[in-house]
Amino acid sequence: MPAPRKFTREQLRTVALAMVDEQGLAALTMRSLASALGTGAMTIYNYVDGREGLEQLVTEAVMAEARWDDVTGEWSEAVTAVAVGMWRAVRAHPHAIPLILTRRSLDPSTLATAEALLGALAHSGRSGTDLLIAFRLVTGFITGSAQSELAGPLAEGHGDDPDAATGRVRSLSSERFPHLIAIARAATASDPEIEFRTGLRIILTGLAA
């Protein structure tokens, strides 16, 4: 009888995230992950503990993709570098965003990213509760910005035509929804990363005041 196959955690989370990207969260199960890895479901239990463990693999995989350049200038530039790296990683995996929003993760990738962001914010002179508030404000904006592309009146479904998504709003009554229609028109020409950087700049300007 052949010995059970051995896997690294990185292998597991890479395959788990790929499944979620392609088929959505509901497709990720012990059995489906085992099948994708060419092994039995019981083997997976040696690495993760049920559904929560599977979802943890996904959040780890997303945060492991966060990349940013070291910045030695102003603290706001360092915060921007880390925040944009986090936003790009989260936005690249829309099906995983609900997990990023709701799961508490203590894996090395998530901890390293949080430490980098906290370190950059700390250079603004904040500490204690003030630093905590700033950290939660920025991380909330990162995940919220990515989520807002998927939920709300101007949301685009995964793979949807952006013009079709905003077109639905533009077809509303101009008397009842003048502001929604106006920003729907703006949204057709808007670049998501420019939007994110602009919003982040507004936040950082407020923190610097």
Residue 54 buriedness (CB in 10 A; 0-12 / 13-18 / 19+): buried
One domain for residues 100 and 146: yes
Alpha-carbon distances, residue 98 vs 102, 143, 152 (angstroms):
6, 9, 14
One domain for residues 88 and 117: yes
What domain range is 40 assigned to? Answer: 9-63
Classify residue 4: in a domain, yes or no: no
One domain for residues 84 and 179: yes
CA distance 185 to 169: 9
- pLDDT by residue for the chain (209 residues), tens only, comes to 444 568 999 999 999 999 999 999 999 999 999 999 999 999 999 999 889 999 999 999 999 999 999 888 899 999 999 999 999 999 999 999 999 988 888 899 999 999 999 999 999 999 999 999 999 999 999 999 998 877 666 655 555 555 566 667 767 778 888 888 787 777 777 788 999 999 999 999 999 98
Q: Tell me if 53 sits within 8 A of 105, measured CB to CB.
A: no
What CATH number is associated with residue 89? 1.10.357.10
Classify residue 135: in a domain, yes or no: yes
Classify residue 3: in a domain, yes or no: no
